Structure 1
């Protein structure tokens, strides 16, 4: 596993609570990651999450105004690992000869105990 220091944690751009009931909590967030090329792993701050959270992720290239768009680079999400301490490690890949800026979108589902 990739071991990352606390100062390497990337904070979310936005957190949106979708649903919160006595049994279920759903929320989403996204992150901007700059200068990504090849296989990468990042330590993301993920409010309201722990190791039991179900996490779904997608990735897209962003332009200079941080708007997602479909570029020519192939991008994939390889692994998404929710951790205690409100963190998620994501591993992905950007197949392009130069570094690109990307947005990682995440959707979280928690059972409330």
Structure 2
């Protein structure tokens, strides 16, 4: 089966095709998949952060105790290593945020991985839009 994706090289890269472009004729709208589309002008935007120690794969549940987080909230999460004074810095560890799940009860679950053999201090930064 032929792929519906084409690849192009991005200027300034090493020559490895790194971006997949979706051909216009293969794009479908949410309505074509029978999904409910919820969109509009944001009614609230706020941020939150939490610091913790960890290493390896993790799942972190943050309970914000507000009705402003629900299953339809748009939540972006970034992660950074912290120095001994609690300041963000770019260390040698690779850290990934894999999944972000806003829940109807105000919880946000983040699955990620701290690719380091020993425990590191890290910060999860949240931006929540409704």
Q: CA deviation at 1:86?
A: 1.1
TM-score, reference length from structure 1: 0.73
Alignment match of 1:39 (pick from 33, 53, 57) = 57
The 8 Å contact of residues 46 and 128 in structure 2, kept in 1 or not, is answered as yes
Extract structure 1 runs of 4+ deviating beyond 6 A: none
Alignment match of 1:97 (pick from 91, 112, 117) = 117
The residue number in structure 2 matching 1:27 is: 46
Structure of higher RCO (CA pairs closer than 8 Å, 6+ residues apart): 1
TM-score, reference length from structure 2: 0.64
Alignment match of 2:128 (pick from 89, 104, 108) = 108
Say which one has the larger Rg: 2
Q: CA deviation at 1:27?
A: 0.4
Structure-to-structure mapping, 1:1-113, within 5 angstroms: 24-34=43-53, 36-46=54-64, 47=66, 48-110=68-130
Structure 1 71/25 Cα, relative in aligned 2: closer, same or farther at 3 Å?
A: same
Secondary structure of residue in 1 paired with 2:91: coil
* Residues in 2 aligned to 1:84 and 1:108: alpha-carbon distance in whole angstroms: 14
Between structures 1 and 2, the one with greater strand share: 1
